[in-house]
Amino acid sequence: MPARYIIAVSGVRPTDAVRLWATDHAVAARAFLLFVHVDDEDSATPHAPAAAAAADPSFADDDTLILHGPVPHTLADFVRDDDVLVLGTDKSGFIHARVFGSRGIQIAGAVPCSVAVVPNVDLRFRSGVVAGVDRGETIAVIARAASDEATARADPLHLIHSTRGTRAPPALRTTESVLLRASLAATHRWPSLVVSARTTSRPAAQALLDASRNAALLVLGPGGRPPTYPFGSVMHDVLININAPVLIARR
């Protein structure tokens, strides 16, 4: 279970969606909830907690831990492997993000812990957890995170694997193996969990975004194989066009 849920804040108060998502998860996990602002000395942005407090007196400096230094690297040094870092973004994605702008993608790629990116959308009537299964070495972490989330919500889990870029017929056997192993891992952990699995020939990001349009959560793996590919292209494309909370599972 996560030790801490850490909300990264900037010059505006975290959206209600971000605060609710992080608070609900922290309470369920009996984990500590922490607000963190990184004061980048090279930035011309006003002191974030002070600006937020001026706009909303209920959000004051005492609520937030202040760190100093380059944002992605400072957060990467601060978080622990068993934390979940929670970032906010507006509905349009990181291009017009409300928390860290385009830095959000850099942060998600830099930190060693799991990252939740929560758009400013109404989540009350959403259901289902979608998980993108990419390759064998990430099956365990994706299946664990996605099945835990689905079980906590009493929602079904939908596993999706894209065959785009693979070759048949060996790819068919690989795809079946990846999805079967993910399904078995999820149901072994939670035997009563309802799991569906399907393949698609569409680009992975497109398929996952369509599937998560009305979902409560989209779970992704840790991205490309480090150190050469520290941040996968699928993860990048999903976050740019985000339409549901995304959990990048790393632990």
CB-count burial class (<10 Å; 0-12, 13-18, 19+) for 124: exposed
Q: Which two tokens stand for residue 198?
A: 């399907």
pLDDT tens-digit profile of 173-206?
556 789 999 999 999 999 999 999 999 999 999 9
Answer CATH for 129-248 from 3.40.47.10, 3.40.50.620, 2.60.40.10, 1.10.1040.50: 3.40.50.620
What share of the chain in percent tops pLDDT 70? 75
Virtual CA dihedral for 103, 105, 109, 112, nearest 10 degrees?
70
Q: Where are the domains of the chain?
A: 4-119, 129-248
- Fold match, 4-119 / 129-248: yes
For the entire predicted model, the pTM comes to 0.84
Q: Which residues contact 190 (CB under 8 A, 6 or more apart)?
A: 147, 148, 150, 151
pLDDT of res. 50: 46
Helix (H) or strand (E) holding 33: strand 32-39
Q: Per CATH, which fold does 4-119 belong to?
A: Rossmann fold (3.40.50)
- Among 33-42, 159-168, 188-197, the range with the most confident prediction by mean pLDDT is 188-197
- Beta strands 114-119 and 246-248: pairing type? antiparallel
Q: Which residues lie closer than 8 Å to 13 by C-beta, 6 or more apart?
A: 52, 55, 56, 59
**pLDDT tens track for 111-150:** 999 999 999 888 889 999 999 998 888 999 999 999 999 9
